[in-house]
Amino acid sequence: SQELEQSPQSLIVQEGKNLTINCTSSKTLYGLYWYKQKYGEGLIFLMMLQKGGEEKSHEKITAKLDEKKQQSSLHITASQPSHAGIYLCGADSGTYKYIFGTGTRLKVLA
Amino acid sequence: EAGVAQSPRYKIIEKRQSVAFWCNPISGHATLYWYQQILGQGPKLLIQFQNNGVVDDSQLPKDRFSAERLKGVDSTLKIQPAKLEDSAVYLCASTRDVAFYEQYFGPGTRLTVT
């Protein structure tokens, strides 16, 4: 079965710093989604990547899917306290069966 | 439009007791998902409905968990009897249709089994 591994598991950065979160799949990705979860709340969809090499941005958050479609990175520029939360990558493991990574907890210090 | 509603938000029960969670998806959304999220882990799909039919329930512990989606709208997830390892957040999500990738999540129900 397909698995998604995220790194790092947790991250603490000073406000204004840039950071990167990685998501690695055990199999080729046919669709990779990024979600954000605030503590104690549901997930909020950020963006979806489908094509190898594709890059998308949402405000100060940029995500890219590598050419081989087995890894995605999410980059936050000039982090703010509002970026704090848990970032989860998700994928369709086949026939609309969705799986999620273990998540990366981000804390931004003001 | 109103988001996905879930109730209750929190529930504490003793092991071997029963519990039920309710979800009201976004109006018009045909596909509904129930996920279990254990602390420190990503959500795990328990069951997926397309209208009132089950698309995937391969990870649903059917000896104790059951779910239904009457009339293809609201859904209920039940645990009977609960075990300590069922302590988790239960998330409900919906999409317009099975092929739509953007899932809309409810706030979740945090279950504690003592």
Q: Quick one: DSSP state of residue A81?
A: G
Residue A39 has pLDDT above 70, yes or no: yes
pLDDT tier at A43 (50, 70, 90 boundaries)?
very high
Q: What is the pLDDT of residue A92?
A: 81
CA–CA distances in Å: residue A44 to residues A87, A108, B10, B63:
10, 19, 20, 32
pLDDT tier at B71 (50, 70, 90 boundaries)?
confident
Q: Say yes or no: A33 contacts chain B, CB-CB below 8 A.
A: yes
Note the Cα A61 to chain centre separation in Å.
10
Residue B41 to residue B58: CA distance in whole angstroms: 19
Residue A17 pairs with which residues in a beta bridge?
Answer: none
Mean pLDDT of A46-65: 91
pLDDT tier at A96 (50, 70, 90 boundaries)?
low
Q: Say yes or no: A109 contacts chain B, CB-CB below 8 A.
A: no
Residue A13 CB partners (closer than 8 Å, separation 6+) = A19, A79, A106, A107, A108, A109
- Per the CB < 8 Å rule, is B105 touching A102? no
Q: Say yes or no: A54 contacts chain B, CB-CB below 8 A.
A: no
Block residue for tokens 């990366």: A104
Tens digits of residue pLDDT in A5-22: 999 999 999 999 999 999
Residue A95 has pLDDT above 70, yes or no: no
pLDDT tier at A97 (50, 70, 90 boundaries)?
confident
Q: Is B30 exposed, middle or buried (0-12, 13-18, 19+ CB in 10 A)?
A: middle
Mean pLDDT of B65-71: 93
CA–CA distances in Å: residue A97 to residues A90, B33, B49:
10, 10, 12
Mean pLDDT of B92-105: 85
Q: Is B105 exposed, middle or buried (0-12, 13-18, 19+ CB in 10 A)?
A: buried
Residues 42 through 81 of chain B touching chain A, CB cutoff 8 Å: 42-45, 48, 55-56
